[in-house]
A = this chain, B = another copy of it.
Amino acid sequence: MSAIAPTPTRQRRKEARPQELLDAALALFVEKGFAATRSDEVAARAGVSKGTLYLYYPSKEELFKAVVRQNLSTLIAEGAQIAGQFEGPTPELLALLLRTWWERVGSQPASGIFKIMFAEVRNFPEIAQFYVDEVIIPAHQLLGGAVERGIKRGEFRKLPVDDVVHALVAPMIFMSLHEHSFGCCPVRGHDYSPESVLTTQIDLVLKGLEVRPAATAAKKDRKR
């Protein structure tokens, strides 16, 4: 039909290979962990032979690093997208950031990367620093910025910013971890839909941040 000759199969596949291999590896690493995943499994899932895998990544460890890097970049990119030129009230900004994060990251396959990180960083110190620099710090800056904005604008109480960020972030990532670990084995008797957890989490934290005349309960608690 077209005047352009069709890309030859070989070549088309060759270009797609790295991505196919990384996807296969991500899925398996998330499911079974790094050590328990065999090289041939990754190759098989990507539809190639064992040897081909080593044509693209010189060792299983390098493959692992490539998987982490590729998916972290995505995370970072998402973060940048999410942030930006929001104009309205800060509570709405925070709600938007958390919801968007869940839709774009937390509920996507790439969120498996969190499970991998927690499970394996201690065996890959180079990656630890990488992750801290490229994910944790930017994420904290993004959310920390929003919290500070709320405090400055008098919308939020004056609380330690980093700790608030922790309280915001932890339940989100925790949900991802759960899905990838206990996901298959539902906690019977519990109403555990991410959607609901998310909504309540936002409600709760925003209320907790809200400035009000009577803040007696918190003071008491402070004394410790």
Contacts and interface: CB of A to CB of B under 8 A. Distances in A.
Contacts of A222: 199, 203
Given A132-B187, A210-B217, A174 B166 contact: yes
Contacts of A136: 182, 187
A169 B31 CA distance: 24
Interface in A17-41: 31-36
A36 B123 contact: yes
A188 to B, nearest CB: 8
A118 interface: yes
B160 A200 contact: yes
Interface residues of A, number: 74
Nearest to A206: B217
A118 B118 contact: yes
A217 B207 contact: yes
A33 B137 CA distance: 25
Given A118-B115, A170-B174, A181-B117, A203 B199 contact: no
A80 interface: no
B199 A95 contact: no
A162 interface: yes
Nearest to A192: B162
A35 B36 CA distance: 6
Interface in A58-92: 91-92
A196 B160 contact: yes
A189 B137 contact: yes
A224 interface: yes
A177 B177 CA distance: 11
A171 interface: yes
9 contacts: A33-B33, A33-B123, A35-B35, A119-B120, A122-B180, A125-B184, A166-B175, A202-B221, A205-B208
Interface of A: 31-36, 91-92, 95, 99, 115, 117-123, 125, 128-129, 131-132, 136-137, 140, 157, 159-160, 162-164, 166-167, 169-171, 173-175, 177, 180-182, 184-185, 187, 189-192, 196-197, 199-210, 212, 214-215, 217-218, 220-222, 224
